[in-house]
């Protein structure tokens, strides 16, 4: 696997020790071919999962401003049948959202059986931006790691396959991307003067992300730290993680579909018999 998932809780994590660049040994040409193959497989797996209605997929995308959350969504959604995909973005909570618990606005966007939900930011903001800027008392956000773990366990018990990606970019890469947004009118809509301000909290966000990833990683809801300076490598890592997570379920979905097929056939035979007897 290009990047291994983090499946153990409370393992020490140091983001500065993880490369943001694509590994030298991975060849871009080869990677693009591999990407296509994986996308074909992902499309087929989605189809089986959609029909079988035994599982769903939740993809959580986190990362600093310009890390590539939108770009990743575009690529992943482009590889899927849009019929079974729901995308949700989470910004500053509205007044109504603030008057509920922090998971209220999240829970309603989780996927139904057979479907994908892709989150651009997520419930993790409630232990990231809230922690960095002390938007709420420490006592409140500190308890949220456990709440998040319980919440994700509940989803997993209902058949939800959860994949969480931290798109890891370097500070220099972020600067280039912010400047590019300023220079390119087609990217201007993404421009947010606040991004430059948030950049000043680079270290605080690093720490907040390390804690969140380490406290909320498990077999059923792992995190991947994705080297995201190169977009082609980032896409490859995310797509591979999806395929490798879904693949082991393929047989069970085929079986469920066959069973359903048999049930449908039996019902049809019964119907024909009754028609004849009339």
Contacts to ligand AMP by CB under 6 A: 90-93, 121, 125-126, 129-130, 135, 192
| 125 belongs to the binding site for Mg ion (CB under 5 A) | no
Indicate which of Mg ion, ligand AMP, none lies near residue 244 (CB less than 5 to 8 Å, by partner kind).
Answer: none
Q: Which stretch binds Mg ion (CB under 5 A): 133-141, 156-164, 185-193, 233-241?
A: 185-193
Nearer Cβ to Mg ion (65/240) = 65
| 65 belongs to the binding site for Mg ion (CB under 5 A) | yes
**Whether the Cβ atoms of residue 6 and residue 13 lie closer than 8 Å to each other:** yes
CA distance 167 to 186: 23
Nearer Cβ to Mg ion (63/84) = 63
Measured at CB, which residue is nearest to ligand AMP? 125
| 115 belongs to the binding site for Mg ion (CB under 5 A) | no
Question: How is residue 73 written in tokens?
Answer: 């969504």
272-275, Cβ contacts within 8 angstroms, sequence gap of 24 or more: none
**Whether the Cβ atoms of residue 80 and residue 179 lie closer than 8 Å to each other:** no
Residue 82 to residues 34, 78, 241, Cα–Cα distance (Å):
22, 8, 20
Indicate which of Mg ion, ligand AMP, none lies near residue 91 (CB less than 5 to 8 Å, by partner kind).
Answer: ligand AMP
Which position has the token pair 């056939």?
Answer: 265
Q: Which stretch binds Mg ion (CB under 5 A): 20-28, 68-76, 81-89, 188-196?
A: 188-196
The Cβ of residue 79 has, within 10 Å, a number of other Cβ atoms equal to: 20
The residues of the shown chain that bind Mg ion, judged by CB under 5 A, are: 65, 192
């Amino acid at each position: 696997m290009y990047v291994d998932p983090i499946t153990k809780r409370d393992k020490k994590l140091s983001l500065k020790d993880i490369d943001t660049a694509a590994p030298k040994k991975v060849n871009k040409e080869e990677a693009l071919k591999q990407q296509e193959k994986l996308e074909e497989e992902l499309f087929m797996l989605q189809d089986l999962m959609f029909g079988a209605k035994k599982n769903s997929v939740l993809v959580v995308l986190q990362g600093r401003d310009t890390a590539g959350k939108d770009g990743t969504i575009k690529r992943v959604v482009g590889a899927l049948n849009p019929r079974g995909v729901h995308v949700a973005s989470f910004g500053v909570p509205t007044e109504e959202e603030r008057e509920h618990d922090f998971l209220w606005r999240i829970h309603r966007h989780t996927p139904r059986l057979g479907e994908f939900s892709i989150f651009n930011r997520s419930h993790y903001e409630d232990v990231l931006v809230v922690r960095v800027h002390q938007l709420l008392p420490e006592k409140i956000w500190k308890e949220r790691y456990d709440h998040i773990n319980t919440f994700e366990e509940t989803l997993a018990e209902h058949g939800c396959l959860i994949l969480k990606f931290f798109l890891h970019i370097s500070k220099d890469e972020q600067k280039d991307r912010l400047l590019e947004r300023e220079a390119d009118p087609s990217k201007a809509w993404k421009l947010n003067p606040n991004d430059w301000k948030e950049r000043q909290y680079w270290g605080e966000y690093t720490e907040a992300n390390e804690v969140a990833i380490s406290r909320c990683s498990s077999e059923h809801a792992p995190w991947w730290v994705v080297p995201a300076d190169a977009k082609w490598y980032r896409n490859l890592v995310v797509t591979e993680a999806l395929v490798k997570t879904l693949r082991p379920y393929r047989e069970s979905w085929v079986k469920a579909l066959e069973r359903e097929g048999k049930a449908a056939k039996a019902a049809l035979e019964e119907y024909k018999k009754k028609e004849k007897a009339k």
